[in-house]
Structure 1
Amino acid sequence: MNNKNFLTAAFLIFCALVSGQENPWSLTKCMEMALQNNIEIKIRQLEIIRTQKLQNSVLNRMLPVANLYGEQGYNFGSSIDPSTNGRVSSNFQNDNFYLNAKTNLIDFNAFANAKKDKINIELAKAEKEVIENEYKLQILESYYQALYTQELLKIQKEQLKQASFNLERVTKEVTIGSKPKSDLYDMQLSFSEEENRNLETEQLYGIKKTQLFQLMNVMDVATDDIVLEPYLKEITADIAENASYNPKIKFAELNYQSSLKSIGVERANNLPVLSAYYGFSTFYYKTLNQENSNSDSFQNQLADNKSQQVGMQLNVPVFNGFRNNKKIDASKIESEKSKLVIEQEKQQLDKQVALEEQNKKNYLQIQNKWIVKLQYAKASLTTTQAKFASGKIEAIVYSSVKNQFLSAEYEVLKNSLQLQYIDLKISLLRNNVL
């Protein structure tokens, strides 16, 4: 092993030792795992395959249909003799064989249905994308809820460390008599409150992570070791400025196109159909229980009794009680409904995006306030720390100022995460991508 490989291996081992048992999960990793495990998405994928299998092209619909029939019967008593077409008192066996084939040469219904089948495949794909988009939004919200709690827990752990340090210091000062015992009681109360708050946040964090991984259908991961990573990828201007691609709008548009094809299918039922057909038949008969029966052999009779028929048929609809016209009118109304659904989905998307844009604007405005507050808190902490080191203020005052600084730091961080969450949500709503 050369020096470069050795250093690389040593660095990886060092990183593994430093990270301990932590298992980092990014938003992208959660999305990918969730989409792989979601049962509803798998069902929709099978629905796409099923729809593709049901598709019939125009050529397939125009292929001839051929049927072969065979029939064997026995007649007893008075019946018609096929050879003389006269009524006789006899019993005989009769075997009939038919071969029929028919194909449509011109069939407008086949063209209309073939076009509708293609739309049905696109509809199935769009429906899958709608479910994926809604699922991504759920994962995004759950992920950031857990991420907020994770960052809050980090701040509270720092606060707890500070409270523990202050408690230890005041305990020593009370022991040597430089502080009254009442200060120790105050610090013990403060430490207890911080400890309880930290425990509640830890429990909430565990619940949020469990809810996230349950939503992802990932059950074989120890959530206690999971660490969520902030999403670092920036929203590119190309994606933000492109024409929006919302799966619900796409599904509504395809549904409208399908309704137009349905009108074409109903109209095709009023158009003529030109067909060609071919028929072949033969039969065999044999008299039963007659001593003087001179029936030819089975093979000879099949050869002698052959009959063929070839022809073309034109079927022109003339009158059907206006039933088909009613179906056309109903399809037109359904088409108008589908067209309105497109506008409805666009309006809902615009409302959602406008609301998120307003939230983003509000968070941007308050972000400056939080940053200013953090600057004040940092400056106050610097002076308070100096006073505390010189013994001019009590430890509980210093602890309070320290907690204010940590809280202000968390508010800035949380606000930044909320802005990030809104950008990602808008991107999913508009373009179905992170």
Structure 2
Amino acid sequence: MKTKIISLFLVLIASIVQAQQQKKWTLRECVEFALENNISVKQFELDLLNAEIDKSDAIGDFIPSLNGQASLSSSTGLTLNPITNSYENQVLTSASFNIGSSLTLFDGLRNFNNLNRAKLNKLAGYYRLDDMKDNISLTVANAYLQILSNKETLNVIKGQYAITQQDLERTKALVDNGVVPKGDLLEIEATSATQQQQIINAQNALAISKITLAQLLTITDYENFDIADEGYVIPPSDILDKSPKEIFNKAVSFRNDIKLSETNLEMAEKDLDIAKGAYYPTLSAFFNYNTRYSDNAEYPDGSPINFTDQLWIFDGISYGLQLNVPVFNGFSVRNNVKRSKIDVQKSTLQYEQDKLDLESNINQAYVDVIGAYKTYEAAEKTVEARRLAYEYSKERFNVGLMNSFDFSQSQSRLDNAEAELIRSKYDYIFKLKVLEFYFGIPLDEL
């Protein structure tokens, strides 16, 4: 019985390991995993916690402060008796206790503006985090498509190599029968060796692209990492039916980098309000309760006063208002206001520049998509023409009307055309997804 349990346990472990090894990551899974585990994202999330603490500090400025103090001292010789308020030669132990509270009633609205700024800073933190996630999503999508491109390239080269092996066997038979010279066989063998080298290079490129994506996902099991390799085709899209201006108008309304720039401008304006608040007087209220104790305190009849009674007998209360009026502070307030005004101007210019950059990027992406699609269409036509030329060359070579060198050149041109078709295909897909991303279409699906 025990042996059966151990066997079942080992089978279960092996199944789990095999399932992990066979996992194929989709683009959506890659994007979601990267956003959950990326170190930079986690750092920005910690910045959000700091922003929340800053907001709590700003709220705390509206709440009255409450502090307590206590002191105990002992002295010998000529000392001031706190009870009689006269100097005496004695050994004296005394204690004092104080509780104080203060509340700012008016400070030029600086507390109010500090709270609003803290709220804006927290909002900016969210925009900054989401902008980071956008960039990571684009990077992951690009790395994912690069793996797909490398996989297709490898499969094409392997297919070409298989055809070359068939040609090699057929040419051997033709050489043995004296139909074609041995030089033709050597030429095809050279082509076969070149393709073997191309397969090795393609395998290395595929492995490197997998490692690149795995690192973006903080996955270290590179050997077992792989993505879903279903046959991807050009995705349907109507994004080019929109004008660049339409795409920009929508992008500027939701893009996190623009929202961040806009929030930074609002924070600069709040900083200016805070700086201006230093021109105004500050009004605060205070309340204090204090009492004391001395070990030589006595009633008029000479009997000592105990500790508890002294706390009530010698206690006192003070309260009132305190007004601070700024008169001259070495130009510091005025200069701080000037600096804040400059910061507002800089933030305004940065906001306008960010919108111009976005519009420029969208126009460039729009042109890139059109150009990439034309390149892809041209590559398709080239492959079709090269394939027909290759088939024609193959027929001529098989009947001895073309030498092996010219036949190899025809095959090489077809190989290059197919490689360019794959490259242009995924280049177009990525640029298309980037343009769609500007329009608010998510990247997690191809």
The TM-score range, normalised by the shorter chain, is 0.7 to 0.9
Match of 1:32 in 2: 32
Aligned-partner Cα distance in 2 for 1:59–1:417: 52
Per the alignment, residue 12 of structure 1 pairs with: none
User: Structure 2 length normalisation: TM-score?
Assistant: 0.81
Does the aligned pair in 2 maintain the 1:65–1:101 contact within 8 Å? Answer: yes
Residue pair 1:349, 1:429 contacting (<8 A) in 2 also: no
For residues 226 and 404 of structure 2, the distance between their equivalents in structure 1, rounded to whole angstroms, comes to 35
Post-superposition CA distance 1:301-358 (Å, at most 9, x none):
2121121123233333333233111111111111211222222323333333333333
Moved more, 215-224 or 385-394: 385-394
CA drift of 1:48 comes to 0.6
Larger mean Cα displacement after TM superposition, 214-223 or 229-238: 229-238
Q: Is the 8 A contact 1:159 1:403 kept in 2?
A: no
Secondary structure at 1:79's aligned position in 2? strand
Residue equivalent to 1:333: 342
- Of the three residues 367, 371, 382, the one matched with 1:373 is 382
- Rounded Cα–Cα distance in structure 2 between residues aligned with 1:236 and 1:70: 76
* SS of the residue 1:90 aligns to: strand
Question: Is 1:210 matched with 2:218?
Answer: no
Aligned to 1:140: 141
Say whether the 8 Å CA contact 1:162–1:399 is kept in structure 2.
Answer: no
Does the aligned pair in 2 maintain the 1:100–1:279 contact within 8 Å?
yes
> What is the alpha-carbon distance in structure 2 between the residues aligned to residue 89 and residue 206 of structure 1?
91
Please, which of 392, 410, 435 is the counterpart of residue 426 of structure 1?
435
CA-CA distance at 1:161 after TM superposition: 0.7
Q: What SS class does the counterpart of residue 103 from structure 2 fall into? A: strand
- Give 3-state SS (helix, strand or coil) of 1:220's partner: coil
Report if aligned partners of 1:249, 1:346 keep a CA contact under 8 Å in 2: yes
The corresponding residue for 1:198 is 199
C-alpha contact 1:287 1:293 (8 A) present in aligned 2? no
Work out the CA distance in 2 between the residues paired with 1:228 and 1:343.
43
Range 91-100 or range 143-152, more displaced: 143-152
Correspondence for 1:242 among 222, 246, 250: 250
Distance 1:160 1:346 in 2: 51
Match of 1:10 in 2: none
Match of 2:320 in 1: 311
**Cα shift at 1:95:** 1.6
Distance 2:415 2:404 in 1: 16
Q: 1:347 aligns with which of 349, 356, 361?
A: 356
Hey, what's the Cα distance between the residues in 2 that align with 1:22 and 1:170?
41
Amino acid at match of 1:60: G
Counterpart residue identity of residue 183, structure 1:
D
Match of 2:3 in 1: none
Residue 62 of structure 1 aligns to a residue whose secondary structure is coil
Question: Partners of 1:355 and 1:141 in 2: how far apart?
Answer: 18
Cα distance between partner residues in 2 of 1:361 and 1:343 = 27
Classify the secondary structure of the residue corresponding to 2:61: helix
The offset of 1:82, in angstroms, is 3.3
In structure 2, distance between residues paired with 1:397 and 1:360: 37
Note the aligned Cα RMSD (angstroms): 3.1
Percent identity, aligned pairs only, is: 23
In structure 1, how many angstroms separate the alpha carbons of the residues matched to 2:226 and 2:441?
A: 30
- The 1:243–1:214 alpha-carbon spacing in structure 2 relative to 1, beyond 3 Å, is closer
Residue in 1 that maps onto 2:68: 68
1: distance between equivalents of 2:314 and 2:30? 75
* Counterpart residue type for residue 162 of structure 2: K
Give, in angstroms, the shift of residue 216 of structure 1. Answer: 2.6
The alpha-carbon distance between structure 1 residues 236 and 380, as it changes in their structure 2 partners (threshold 3 A), is: closer
Residue equivalent to 1:256: 265
Query: Partner letter of residue 319 of structure 2?
Result: V
Secondary structure class of the residue paired with 2:176: helix
**1:422 CA displacement:** 0.8
CA distance in 2 between partners of 1:75 and 1:361 (Å): 91
Matches within 5 A, 1:4-153: 23-56=23-56, 60-107=60-107, 108-153=109-154
Stretches of structure 1 that go unaligned for 5 or more consecutive residues are 1-20
Q: Note if contact 1:353-1:426 (Cα within 8 Å) is conserved in structure 2.
A: yes
Q: 1:46 to 1:280 in 2, by over 3 A?
A: same
**Unpaired runs of 5+ in structure 2?**
1-20
- Tell whether the 8 Å contact from 1:271 to 1:316 is kept in structure 2 after alignment: yes
Contact 2:26 2:227 in 1 (8 A): no
Task: Return the letter of the residue paired with 2:258.
Answer: I
Provide the secondary structure at the position in 1 that maps to 2:218. Answer: coil
Report the AA paired with residue 314 of structure 1: L
The answer for the alignment partner of 2:180 in structure 1 is 179
Contact 1:273–1:316 (Cα < 8 Å) also in 2:
yes
Aligned counterpart, 1:358 = 367
Contact 1:119 1:254 in 2 (8 A): yes
The answer (yes or no) to whether the contact 1:206–1:223 under 8 Å persists in 2 is: no
Distance of 2:52 and 2:281 partners within structure 1: 29
Q: What TM-score comes out, normalization by structure 1 length?
A: 0.83
Q: What SS is found at the alignment partner of 2:220?
A: coil
1:221, distance to aligned residue in structure 2 (A)? 4.4
Query: Counterparts of 1:386 and 1:23 in 2: how far apart (Å)?
Result: 44
Amino acid at match of 1:31: V
Larger mean Cα displacement after TM superposition, 158-167 or 203-212: 203-212
Deviation string for 1:36-82 (max 9, x for gaps)?
22111111112112221331376632211111111122232223333
CA 1:210/1:56 → structure 2, altered by over 3 Å: closer, same or farther?
closer
Provide the secondary structure at the position in 2 that maps to 1:53: helix
1:321 aligned counterpart, secondary structure: coil
Q: Which of 268, 273, 281 pairs up with 1:272?
A: 281
CA-CA distance at 1:403 after TM superposition: 5.2
Letter in 2 for 1:99: I
Deviations 1:126-181 (A, max 9, x none): 22223323333333333333333222212111110111000011112323444332
Deviations 1:234-253 (A, max 9, x none): 55659957233433332222
Give the letter aligned to residue 78 of structure 1: L
Query: Could you tell me whether the CA contact under 8 Å between 2:52 and 2:122 is conserved in 1?
Result: yes
Select between 94-103 and 403-412 the one with higher mean Cα deviation: 403-412
CA distance in 1, matches of 2:173, 2:360: 61
CA distance in 2, matches of 1:194, 1:428: 38
The verdict on how the C-alpha distance between 1:430 and 1:317 changes in structure 2, with shifts beyond 3 A counting, is farther
In 2, Cα distance between equivalents of 1:284 and 1:402: 106
| Other structure's SS at 2:304 match | coil
AA in 2 matched with 1:165? Q
